[in-house]
Amino acid sequence: MDGEDQGAAERAQDVTHAPVLGLGFVLGRVAHVLALRFDRELEPFGVRASHLCLLKAVRAFGPLPQQRLAEFLGVDRATVAALVDDLEARGLAERHPTQGDRRAKAVRLTNAGRQLHERADAAAWDQERRTFAALDVAERDQLRQLLLRLAPDPAMLVPPESAGNRRRRHAATRR
C-alpha cells in the first residue's frame, strides 16, 4: 500500500471518532449509501426501492388510495403517481375508483405485481441481512428501537388503512 492509500485508510478509521461529523450527517450518508445498494440489488427486477416500498404497502394492506400511499411512504402525491404509472405501464399495478369518492384512485397489485413483489422482496431481505451482518441480533434490535424513537411523525410507521377497511368502518359507523 503506498503512502496515499495508507493515509486514506487511517483517515477512514479515524472518522468513527471525528466529532465534526454530526449524527444527522452520518445517518443521512449511511441511509443514502444503503438506498443505493438496495436499488442495485433490485435492478434485475426493473424496480427501485421506492417501487418496492409501494408494492409492499399495497401487498400488506390491500388496495390503497394514492393519497394514503403518499402519506405512508412520506412522499408527495406526484411521486406516488409516477411510481404507480411505472408499475401500471409494466402491468404490475392497477388504479381503480374508490367507493364514495370517484376522484380518488385506489392502487392494487396485479398477479404479475404480486409475483414480482415476492421475488424482489426476497432479494431485498437478502441485502438487508448482508447489510446488517456486522451487528448481532441485540444490536439490530437496539438500532431499530433508537431509529423508531427518532421518527419525526409516528403516524409514518402506522400501517395505512386499505380502501376496503375504510369502507367497512365507514359503513359500520353509519348504522
Domains and CATH numbers, the chain: 46-133 (1.10.10.10)
103 φ/ψ angles, rounded to the nearest 5 degrees: -75, -30
Ramachandran class of 43: left when φ > 0, alpha when ψ lies in -120 to 50, beta otherwise? alpha
C-alpha–C-alpha distance, residues 49 and 37, integer Å: 9
C-alpha–C-alpha distance, residues 65 and 96, integer Å: 9
Burial of 132 (0-12, 13-18, 19+ CB in 10 A): middle
pLDDT, residue 149, reads: 86
The answer to whether the CB of 58 falls within 8 A of the CB of 108 is yes
The answer to whether the CB of 68 falls within 8 A of the CB of 161 is yes
75: helix, strand or coil: coil
pLDDT, residue 19, reads: 63
pLDDT, residue 173, reads: 38
101: helix, strand or coil: strand
Answer positive or negative: Cα dihedral of 162, 168, 172, 175: positive
pLDDT, residue 9, reads: 54
pLDDT, residue 77, reads: 92
pLDDT, residue 170, reads: 40
The answer to whether the CB of 79 falls within 8 A of the CB of 40 is no
pLDDT, residue 7, reads: 57
pLDDT, residue 5, reads: 54
Which pTM value belongs to this model? 0.74
C-alpha–C-alpha distance, residues 156 and 53, integer Å: 13
pLDDT, residue 138, reads: 97
10-residue mean pLDDT series, the chain (175 residues): 55 59 87 93 94 94 89 90 96 90 88 97 94 95 90 69 48 40
pLDDT, residue 103, reads: 81
